Structure 1
Amino acid sequence: MNSPAPVLRTVLGDIAPDAVRGPALAHEHLVLDLDHRGDGGAVLAAGRHTAAVTAELAALREEYGLALVVELTCRGMGRDVRTLARISRDAQVAVVAATGWYYEPFHTPEIDRGSVADLAATLVREIEDGIGTTGIRPGVLGEIGSHGDIPAPPESKVLRASARAALATGLSVATHAQLGRGGLAQLELLTAEGLPPHRISLGHQDLLDDPAVHRELAASGAYVAFDTVGKDSYQSDDTRLRLLLALLEAGHADRALLSCDISRHGYLTSEGGQGYGHLFGSFLPEVRAAGVDDDLIDLLTRRNPLRFLSGANVEES
């Protein structure tokens, strides 16, 4: 009996992975609210910022062929999939929505009340039935969060539940490792539940200046996300470039994912920020200047994220 063909689940419906011919942003936010202190900075508000976000994505489609955004805003992060669908339709860029829970400061009450099995069942219901009453189904579990070298007990519960939901539904898991720490512990928890490493992306590894850890994660078969490109207040792009080149030179180009993790409205180009296009306009030219050719760029920005999300081995562009 033949296995079903891999599909990519977007907010506007399923598409074939090989229909995505341009690059992807593997970890972004288009609508979110992480503002716990009242300053309003960690917000991309539906309505107030939607037009600017849409305009940026449309411009990147025109200039660089941007074809896909993996939007990792999940439960407790101000997720709004109706607005994601509107942005996707208006910008003509495919968007993958997420489900799961972020790290502990943003946990919702059901995490304390529920068992691992309860939480996994909640995620499976969203994946199979859609988010709320929208009918829009998530295409990835993420960004599943922890902080520190070892996840806190509630974070461990969420990671285990996410692995079980991934196994039940065929989706992959993208994590938030605060400041790049704890990726190995996340990987251990997820794989202990039976989730294969190739269905796991360990987030924010470009904030951890430890090439040995990156090699260990990649050697396991997991994806290593260099997904805060342009966030110079956390790490310089010079350091990111050095870390990425080290991973490529170690033979792990097929395990790297790239993105910018735009998570504040001040990062939008309309407000003077680096924008979603910093990866294409600033960082990738530096990668090319270091000797990386166009085929490898396509691997990093298109084939890797498509394989992570769907399991499909897409052809070279």
Structure 2
Amino acid sequence: MTFIRTLKGDIAPEQLGFTYSHEHIVCRPPYWQEHGADDLLLDDPAKSKKDVEDFKRHGGQAIVDATAVDYGRDVQAVKEISDELGIHIIGTAGFNKSFLWDAKLKEELKPIVGNYPTYREWIDRASIHELTEFVIREVEEGLEGTPFKAGQVKFGSAYNRITPLEEKTIRAVARAHHETKAPIHAHTEAGTMALEQIELLKSENIHMAYVSIGHMDRNLDPYYHEQIAKTGAFLSFDGIAKLKYAPESQRIECILALVDKGYEDQILISGDTARKTYYKHYEYGLGLVYIISKWVPRFIDQANQKGFDGEKLIHKFFIDNPARCFSFKK
């Protein structure tokens, strides 16, 4: 049996449609709240909804909300956006990266995870088995005690290193995957440590076809991308529109280099739109509409110029590949 788990329930893979594979919709990360970083708080559901509505108006059908428990999810608000707009939204269980764990643990989580003061202390003191059980519950029962279940499990690592606590969460997420069959997403900091993450996953007997590796366009290295693709993992180019890191031309060149080597079935595209200044209806940014309305036509044009079938590739990146990547196979 193959299905995709959304906040509204399980659907057939062919029902998912045009999908952004890594976004954040409503979240109040405790770490950034404590540090007064307002730009990183997507704290107005009505404004977030308007951006999702723009995406839908241009043909968008599904979004993967990659917000894990330590990044301040608002599960109820995101579910309401899904219901009101008729958009499929996939929720995320698991964890993010280690520096965020210094933040205070949300009060509503304490009945679920125990009376720890910070995320770091929870992850440090809990056993891998206890962390695994927490992730399993979020997939099979619901996120943070709600009835809305996660459709993927996530872990993260730091820049050019994997800390002991991050390795602990990687192993917990891998073991939760074995129990639930939920697809796995890996956060890489600036696109580093992907191969090291993969080695840890292999030590937990994970088949890499169930794994997507994030932020590949933060490390625009075609050789590195090829080494990751050879393992069978999906590569997520999820920094579209972030010109402060690289021009779109370099992203497109790296994507087409993978296509030229035969890896077009392993590519995902999204924006990781996690700041007010990225959102159109918060701070007049390019918004969730940018990729589907502006980047897609540009990619098609550049791909066609180089002898590829741009429209066919877009169908793969946004429809076919997400339908496979985010499927549970039980």
Matches within 5 A, 1:145-184: 145-184=156-195
Structure having the higher helix fraction is 2
Amino acid at match of 1:42: L
1:74-95 superposed Cα distances (whole Å, 9 cap, x missing partner): 1110111111110111222110
**Residue 276 of structure 1: which of 288, 292, 315 is its match?**
288
Gaps of 5+ in 2: 102-118
Question: Is the Cα contact below 8 Å between 2:128 and 2:168 reproduced in 1?
Answer: yes
Amino acid at match of 2:297: P
Gaps of 5+ in 1: 313-317
1:9-33 superposed Cα distances (whole Å, 9 cap, x missing partner): 111111111123x310000000122
1:12 matched to which residue of 2? 8
1:141 matched to which residue of 2? 153
**Residue 188 of structure 1: which of 175, 193, 199 is its match?**
199
Question: Is the Cα contact below 8 Å between 1:55 and 1:91 reproduced in 2?
Answer: no
Matches within 5 A, 1:252-263: 252-263=263-274
2:319 matched to which residue of 1? 302
1:42-101 superposed Cα distances (whole Å, 9 cap, x missing partner): 0101xxx211221222222222x2111000101110111111110111222110000111
Normalised to the residue count of structure 1, the TM-score between the two structures is: 0.92
**Residue 57 of structure 2: which of 52, 59, 62 is its match?**
62
Question: Is the Cα contact below 8 Å between 1:187 and 1:202 reproduced in 2?
Answer: no
- Range with bigger deviation, 280-289 or 172-181: 280-289
1:267 matched to which residue of 2? 278
Structure with more contact order per residue of length (Cα contacts < 8 Å, sep ≥ 6): 2
- Does structure 1 residue 286 correspond to structure 2 residue 298? yes
**Residue 245 of structure 1: which of 256, 264, 270 is its match?**
256
- Give, in whole Å, the separation in 2 of the partners of 1:240 and 1:83: 33
Question: Is the Cα contact below 8 Å between 1:201 and 1:222 reproduced in 2?
Answer: yes
- Give, in whole Å, the separation in 1 of the partners of 2:200 and 2:26: 29
| Residue 311 of structure 1, CA deviation | 5.6
1:82 matched to which residue of 2? 76
Amino acid at match of 1:28: E
- Give, in whole Å, the separation in 1 of the partners of 2:168 and 2:247: 33
- Does structure 1 residue 117 correspond to structure 2 residue 113? no
* 3-state SS in 1 of match to 2:285: coil
Amino acid at match of 2:208: P
- Give, in whole Å, the separation in 2 of the partners of 1:294 and 1:225: 19
- Range with bigger deviation, 216-225 or 291-300: 291-300
| Residue 133 of structure 1, CA deviation | 2.9
Amino acid at match of 1:273: G
Q: State the identity %.
A: 30
Question: Is the Cα contact below 8 Å between 1:54 and 1:90 reproduced in 2?
Answer: no
1:44 matched to which residue of 2? 42
| Residue 164 of structure 1, CA deviation | 0.7
Normalised to the residue count of structure 2, the TM-score between the two structures is: 0.88
Question: Is the Cα contact below 8 Å between 2:239 and 2:270 reproduced in 1?
Answer: yes
- Range with bigger deviation, 125-134 or 88-97: 125-134
1:278-310 superposed Cα distances (whole Å, 9 cap, x missing partner): 211222222111214322211111110110110
Question: Is the Cα contact below 8 Å between 1:177 and 1:204 reproduced in 2?
Answer: yes
Question: Is the Cα contact below 8 Å between 1:164 and 1:193 reproduced in 2?
Answer: yes
TM superposition outliers: structure 1 runs of 4+ over 6 Å:
none
- Give, in whole Å, the separation in 2 of the partners of 1:296 and 1:173: 23
- Give, in whole Å, the separation in 2 of the partners of 1:29 and 1:132: 17
Amino acid at match of 2:41: V
Amino acid at match of 1:204: H
- Give, in whole Å, the separation in 1 of the partners of 2:146 and 2:123: 23
1:191-210 superposed Cα distances (whole Å, 9 cap, x missing partner): 21011101111110111021
Question: Is the Cα contact below 8 Å between 1:99 and 1:138 reproduced in 2?
Answer: yes
* 3-state SS in 1 of match to 2:39: coil
| Residue 234 of structure 1, CA deviation | 2.1
Question: Is the Cα contact below 8 Å between 2:54 and 2:288 reproduced in 1?
Answer: no
- Aligned residue pair count: 302
Amino acid at match of 2:300: R
